[in-house]
Structure 1
Amino acid sequence: MGVPSFYRWLVNKYPNIRVKAIEEHIHGHCVDTSSLNPNGIEFDNLYLDMHGIIQPEDQSVIRPSTYEDVFTSIFEYIVRPRKLLYMAIDGVAPRAKMNQLRSRQFGAANNDEIVEAEEDRLRKQFDMEGKLAFSKEECEVFDSNVITPGTGFMYRLSKKPADYIESRMNGDSSWKGIQVIVSDANVPGEGELKIMSFIRYQRCLPGYNCNTRHCLYGLDADLIMLAIATHEVHFPILREDVLFEEQQPAFRSCSTTSNRETEPYSTESFKHAPVAKRPYEFLRVWVLREYIELDMQIADVPQNITFDLERIIDDFIFMCFFVGNDFLPRMPSLDIHEGAMDLLLTVYKQNFKNIGGYLVDMQRIN
């Protein structure tokens, strides 16, 4: 679920939630994955939302696209889980998400047809007027429609993680003590929702350790909301620094376009593809929880209501849904660019007493 500009608003309002991820590179030598994590935290569980690996958010930036490159960057250099690795590929989405996907896909296809027709009209006009026009080049752009459960691409994709894991289990001793779970496109639900369902299931098990250190990789903004919704304290989100290009103006000019002559993201087409790599960063959920606790202090709390940070967080997530959601239409009058989130938080604090307390009651929902 992409919420436009939500991440930018969040890091501008709460700047200390993000820190640069240290990547351990040893030139000419293999990294010892049994050694301590380079970022000072020993993670128990690592969850990978494969959507951000399969289809980058920004198609103009070329990324490592074979599983070997991606896992080397994440698993070996940054995060080395000690107990569990969970890989989730998007399965069949709920009906509400399907409706939004179809509307976006049909709209994009219609826009492409309009642009192509206008380009052909202008070329004919230039030819009649004797003007010089640039030669028409075929733009090989990744077709997002292939990332749909049931396609041949997704069938072939589902086999790749298993092959990679088997090779690492046989060739790396540090992998033998890790439980690996792959939820492919045959399992219904989006990748991030399957991950959260698994975490909630873990929390319900007897003997669950509340100090378990999780780490989630993914780019979608909804992962931030889902992570704090688990109410787990030790839960950083590993993601690429999407604001890196703004800080480095010359970065984008260094990236080149790959030659995709075969199927999108096939191993052969990307084996020697040039890579313009963004740095990784951690979004620290426990720091975000502290920010929310400080920012959501309510002056006039009724005597019959106690301040509960967990319920404040649930209300914060609920209000975020009004500015972007994959299952409900966004309210046209609320736009993050126009200060919608700050307005919602201010109105919430001012009217907390009038509305009778918290907006969300998870106990009644359960």
Structure 2
Amino acid sequence: MNGIIHGCSHPDDEDVSFRISEEQIFHDIFNYIDFLFGIIKPKKVFFMAIDGVAPRAKMNQQRARRFMSAKNAQEAVSKARKKGIKIPDEKPFDSNCITPGTEFMAYLHENLQCFVQMKIATDSCWQGLRIYLSGHNCPGEGEHKIMDFIRSERSRPDYDANTRHCLYGLDADLIMLGICSHEPHFALLREEVKFGRQKFHRMFNKILQKKKAKVDEITFHLLHLSLLREYLSLEFHSLKEKLPFDYNLESVIDDWILMGFLIGNDFIPHLPHVHIHEDALPLLYATYNEVLPQLDGYINEAGVLNLKRFEIFLKNFAKNDRKNFLEQMDDEAYLSSKRTSDAWKKNSNNDEQSFNEDLEVFDLSNDETNKVTDIGISKGAFDSDSNASDECEEITDQRALTSTKAVSRKFSNIYEYVRAKKKSISMLFN
């Protein structure tokens, strides 16, 4: 639910002139919930969950994100004013109020309850279902509260093993949460996100305003986790003939989830040099295929971590650390040389500008000296009987001294320029 709330309240953070009322936010949220309900068409249960108080492991990350959100908003307003963009007098919506315990969330929860009661009373599609609303006053993140509910349902004696689940959300960790449930029929629903373009919620709000809301006007993706399970089975199929113990796909999936945590998530940081954008996952899988036949069991035993086996896995995975460190050192050396080169070019331009200014002073001094000399000759200043002779000689001496200083400064700058250039070149090659 939090993704819907954020998208309907501040659809475009770059638009500093965007203003919206709470009533309009609630209206858009209700419309989008009804829109998703029409896509999914649940038959038994409809569960809506809003993030409550987050676990301690995530609080630091949330604080940093909210601090940066406020800081970025202030900087965006400052830049807009410098560009001459007119800022409305009304206060903008503060996204940091989408936090458990705020007045906004309490008011939203009350309105959501009224919305659900209204839909049950007026819409036949909402009738005959078990509808749950877990608000901000219930601790835990929304997706984790949903998973707790699914686990509690599975523990019931009358639970149908063929029950189909559809979980909506944009978070990537929903894949991990869904597959760790080991449910055979589990799907994830999410909108197509095009980075750098208008966000989907803003587009959807425009569609609603035109009263032409159609499912095919917004592109949705449906990820069937059963298909992902088949791909994982193909990825680790070679282990069947190598393991000294029984091969179990569910246990392999548990280990796969553990390997996914090594690249980091909202609760734990990633290992050094283990980045998903730098092919960390294929390296983890290759290490797993190599190490598992040497062990006497799986690393993750139904949620219990076997530390001895995990240590062996990490030792083998650490063999790649030296290569990664060397590659990063090469990258840092290149960036350092690049910064040095850019600084040298900047200093060179400054030296050339100063050098040209010195030449101008030198030329100006010579011109003025010649001018004074010509004036003195035309007036007969250098005649022995003229009183102006001494004055002109004094002026000429001063101009000559200025010219001499300019020449000296010019050659001094040339020397410093050449020395700096030689130093920069030696640093580049070293």
Residue 332 of structure 1 and its aligned partner are, at CA, apart by 3.5
SS at match of 2:300: coil
Number of the residue aligned with 1:291: 231
Residue in 1 that maps onto 2:61: 100
CA distance in 1, matches of 2:33, 2:74: 38
| 8 Å CA contact 2:51, 2:140 repeated in 1 | yes
Taking the aligned partners of 2:250 and 2:72, their CA distance within structure 1 comes to: 44
Partner of residue 98 from structure 2, selected from 141, 147, 155 = 147
Query: Which digits, 9 at most, give the CA deviation of each residue in 1:186-213, with x for residues without a partner?
Result: 1110000000000011111112111111
For the residue of structure 2 that corresponds to 1:298, the secondary structure is: helix
Kindly indicate whether residue 278 of structure 2 is the aligned counterpart of residue 278 of structure 1.
Answer: no
Task: Give the structure, 1 or 2, with the largest relative contact order (CA under 8 Å, sep 6 or more).
Answer: 1
How far does residue 160 in structure 1 lie from its aligned partner after superposition? 2.5
Structure 1 partner of 2:120: 169
Counterpart for residue 165 of structure 2: 214
Correspondence for 1:317: 257
- Aligned residue among 159, 164, 167 for 2:110: 159
Q: Which amino acid aligns with 1:188?
A: P
Take 1:178 and 1:274, find their aligned partners in 2: how far apart are those partners?
A: 28
Higher helix share: 2
Distance 1:255 1:188, change over 3 A: closer
Distance change in 2, residues 1:353/1:178 (3 Å): same
Q: How much has 1:216 moved relative to structure 2?
A: 0.9
Tell whether the 8 Å contact from 2:12 to 2:199 is kept in structure 1 after alignment: no
Aligned AA for 2:109?
A: S
Is the aligned partner of 1:71 residue 2:20? no
1:201 corresponds to which residue? 152
2-structure distance, mates of 1:350, 1:167: 58
Question: Normalized against structure 1, the TM-score is what?
Answer: 0.69
Give aligned pairs, total: 288
Task: Out of 107-116 and 280-289, give the one that drifted further.
Answer: 107-116
Distance in 2 between residues matched to 1:81 and 1:254, nearest whole Å: 26
CA distance in 1, matches of 2:224, 2:34: 22
Cα distance in 1 for partners of 2:201, 2:142 equals 30
Counterpart for residue 138 of structure 1: 87
Are 1:353 and 2:315 counterparts?
Answer: no
The residue matched to 1:82 in structure 2 has which SS? coil
- Select 2:246's aligned residue among 283, 300, 306: 306
**2: CA distance between counterparts of 1:342 and 1:108?**
34
Within a 5 Å distance, the mapping from 1:224-243 to structure 2 comes to 224-242=175-193
Distance 1:226 1:86, change over 3 A: same
Helix, strand or coil at the partner of 1:226 = helix
Structure 1 equivalent of residue 282 of structure 2: 342
Amino acid aligned to 1:340: A
Contact 1:311/1:361 (CA < 8 Å) preserved in 2? yes
2:402 corresponds to which residue? none
2:190 and 2:119 mapped to 1: Cα distance?
23
Structure 1 residue 349 displacement after superposition: 1.1
- Conservation of the 8 A alpha-carbon contact between 1:54 and 1:65: no
- Measured after TM superposition, the shift of residue 354 of structure 1 is 3.0
Q: How much does 1:154 deviate?
A: 0.5
Tell me which amino acid in the other structure corresponds to 1:135: G
Q: What CA deviation, in whole Å up to 9, does each residue of 1:142-200 have, x standing for no partner?
A: 53311111111101111222112111111123322111111001111000000000001
User: How far does residue 60 in structure 1 lie from its aligned partner after superposition?
Assistant: 3.5
Once the two structures are superposed, residues 56-108 of structure 1 have per-residue CA deviations (whole angstroms, 9 ceiling, x without a partner) of 399449999623421332112x2111111111011111111111111222344
Cα distance per residue 1:282-336 (max 9 Å; x no partner): 1111111111111122347555311111111111111111223111122231111
> Structure 1 residues 67, 336: CA separation in 2 closer, same or farther (over 3 Å shift)?
same
Distance 1:291-1:164 versus aligned 2 partners, 3 A rule: same
Q: Distance in 2 between matches of 1:224 and 1:254?
A: 22
Of 108, 119, 133 in structure 2, the residue corresponding to residue 182 of structure 1 is 133
Is contact 2:168-2:190 (8 Å) kept?
A: yes
Q: What CA distance in whole angstroms lies between the structure 2 residues aligned with 1:144 and 1:254?
A: 16
Tell me which residue corresponds to 1:89: 50
Cα 1:270–1:97, aligned 2, differ >3 Å: closer, same or farther? farther
Task: State the Cα distance separating 1:224 from its structure 2 match.
Answer: 0.8
User: Secondary structure at 1:135's aligned position in 2?
Assistant: coil
1:53·1:65 contact (CA, 8 Å) conserved in 2?
A: no
Q: How large is the Cα RMSD of the aligned pairs? A: 3.6
Unaligned regions of 5+ residues in structure 2, if any?
A: 19-24, 306-430
Output the CA distance in 2 between the equivalents of 1:310 and 1:273. 48
Residue identity matched to 1:206: P
Distance 1:197 1:254 in 2: 31
SS at match of 1:216: strand
Residue 40 of structure 2 aligns to a residue whose secondary structure is: coil
**CA 256–138 in structure 1, closer or farther in 2 if over 3 Å, else same:** farther
For the 8 Å contact 2:190–2:221, the answer to whether it is kept is: yes
Q: Cα deviations across residues 216-262 of structure 1 (Å, max 9, x unaligned)?
A: 111111111100010001111111122xx47xx9xx4798979xxxx
State the one-letter code of the partner of 1:172: D
